[in-house]
Structures are given as structure tokens and as C-alpha cells.
Structure 1
Amino acid sequence: MKLIRVALIAFGEVDPAPCSWLMEDIPEILFTRVEECSSMPLSPRHFYPERHQYLADGLLSDLPWPGDSGADLSLGITGADLFSGRMNCVFGIACTGRALISTFRLRPEWYGDSPNPKVYRWRVLTEAVHELGHALGLSHCEYPGCVMY
């Protein structure tokens, strides 16, 4: 079976731990090889100062097409807070071939809980796999235990 190649791209300043986790964990779940994490700046044209957030759709459009890097999928990761349309916040967004996740609201501390690296790592991985599923053409699932729920 051919491994799917995923290009991991950090948008702006990103804690290196989630990038390392994704490079280690995604291949254990999906038939993939995650390429070394590259980086690109957050475009100021997608920042909405009144919200203190970036427009997820705009950042997703800035994400290189997978073929440009020789990969099958592009996965962007950012520490910035994201919104999309009428949604006040989003954890991630995807279109065919490209996915973007934000770690901003995945930390337990965001919800007033104590820091918990295991919970944080699980949330980052779950969100990444969910958005990669969308990038591969999967839709949401009705089963609550499914990563595409």
C-alpha cells in the first residue's frame, strides 16, 4: 500500500511540541508519512483586529497545494485563534487536499482547567486527523466515537 505523504506547515509562531506530536502520531493512525515541518508567516490581510482572530478560510487559501511540495496533502498548524463565517471560532478547516488546525483553543487552560499535556496532545491529534479526513473527502459521521463526528 502506498503511503500518503502529508506536508506539515507551521503558520506563524507555533509551539514545536504539537508539530513533533503530529509527525510521530499521525503515521500510527493513518497510512501516511508526515514530511518535516516547514513554516510560513501568518498573512496580516486575514487578521481581524476587532475580533483578535484570523479568518480560517483565508489562511487555508494561503496553504500551498500539496503537489507544490510533492506531498499528497497539506496540513497547516497555527497557534492563532481562528473564525469562519458566522462561527465565532473554529478548531480547524479543510478543503480537498488541504487542512488547517489551530491549537489556540485546544489547551485545557483555555477552559479554566489545569495544564494537561496528554489531553492537549490528544486534542491536537484528533483535530488534525478530523481535518485530514475532510481533506481526503470524508464528511461528518453520526457516531459520537468516530473522529469524523
Structure 2
Amino acid sequence: MNIVLVPIGAVDPAELRMLVNPLRAVFSRDVVIGEGVPLPKAARNDPRSQHDAEMVLESLALSVEMERHDRVLGVTNADLYLPGMNFVFGIARERWAIISLHRLRESFYGLPDDPDLFRRRAVVEAVHELGHTFGLAHCKRSRCVMFFSNTVAETDRKGPEFCMRCRLHLASEGLGGRALAWGGGPVES
């Protein structure tokens, strides 16, 4: 089985390709790029200039045939939110997840773009949301990839590695080998 990356709305194909090898290494699954789907118009909240993340995820789940895929990760440039929150970097439910690249770019914060930092942030958020699809909850260890990021600074601090507890959970789900070796060692904080 595999993980399929699905562009939601306009997404640069290079931004999808940059996720393939890191996700393949972490989850020991083939990672493919699928057909794009449009952003659902009903998810747009004009006063907020954002899209409702739950509605986008629901639309993605209805758009992708799961018989050929183990997990689906939607990738969008839309700014996402959930009711009661200013924004979210992504969300996940069952075998589907989405991430937003919108707030991962330095230009969002009025700074010059940094392609390496952007790539790292995108990988961190993709690993985090896919981790949820493999049964991981938010982790209390601030350097674990499964720690909840409320700011981009927290995404930068935690990095793409799982702590030992989360790695053991992944191993119990049959994700051993490279997933356990990703990042060079256990994360403790």
C-alpha cells in the first residue's frame, strides 16, 4: 500500500515532490502524487479569508478512492482554520490528512523566503498529520514531531523526529525500520 499526496487547489508540483522521499523514509511506504482536487467553495469563509479545515478534509475524503491507497495527505496553499482557532497547519481523521503550506513560508511573516526552512516545516507538518492517521495522539514532549504546534516557532523547535514513545507506537503498528531510524535517534525533552 502507499501514501498518496493530493494537491488541493493550486499547488506547485515541486512542493509535492519535496515531500515524497522524506515521507517514504519515515513511514516505509511508497509515496505517490495523485490527481489534484479543487478547494471546495463552501469551505471558504470570506470574512476570515480562510478555509474551514474540516470541510476541506471531508471533500478530500469524498474525492479519493481508497482502494489503491493506505493513506491520503492533501496539500494546499489555502489558509486553514477550525472553529475556535485562529488557524491550523493541518488536521487528520482516520486515513486522511491535510496540511496547509500557507503559514509555513517565511514570506507570510514578512521575511525573505528560505526554501530549506520551508521544506523542513512542510515535512514536519506532513509527518505530524500522517502520524495521526497511524493512531498517534499529540505528544507532551516538545521536541517530538507529534507535539501540537500552535505557532511556526513550535514547528521549528520540534523538528520531524518522533520521540521514543511515539516510535514504539509506530512499531506496534508495523512501521519499523526506517521510521524508527528517522532523524538520527530518539527525541527526549
TM-score above 0.5, yes or no: yes
Please report the RMSD computed on the Cα atoms of aligned residues, expressed in angstroms: 1.4
After superposition, residues 51-70 of structure 1 pair within 5 angstroms as: 51-64=48-61, 68-70=66-68
Shift of 1:5: 1.0
Letter in 2 for 1:33: D
TM-score (normalizing by structure 1): 0.92
CA contact (8 A) 1:15 1:79 kept: no
After superposition, residues 41-120 of structure 1 pair within 5 angstroms as: 41-64=38-61, 68-120=66-118
Matched, 1:7 2:4: yes
The residue that corresponds to 2:133 in the other structure is 135
Q: Tell me the SS of whatever aligns to 1:110.
A: helix
Segments of 5+ residues of structure 1 without an aligned counterpart are none
Shift of 1:69: 4.6
Q: Tell me the SS of whatever aligns to 2:5.
A: strand
CA contact (8 A) 1:55 1:83 kept: yes
Segments of 5+ residues of structure 2 without an aligned counterpart are 148-189
Shift of 1:113: 2.1
Structure 1, residues 116-141: CA drift from partner, whole Å, max 9, x if none?
00000000000000000111110011
* Matches of 1:88 and 1:130, distance apart in 2: 19
Structure (1/2) with the larger strand percentage = 1
Q: Which has the higher contact order (CA 8 A, sep 6+)?
A: 1
The residue that corresponds to 1:40 in the other structure is 37
Structure 1, residues 59-112: CA drift from partner, whole Å, max 9, x if none?
101113665351011100000011101111110000111100000000011122
> Aligned residues: percent identity?
38
Structure whose CA Rg is larger: 2
CA contact (8 A) 2:16 2:33 kept: no
Aligned length in residues: 146
> Post-superposition, which runs of at least 4 consecutive aligned residues in structure 1 deviate over 2 A?
64-69
The residue that corresponds to 2:13 in the other structure is 16
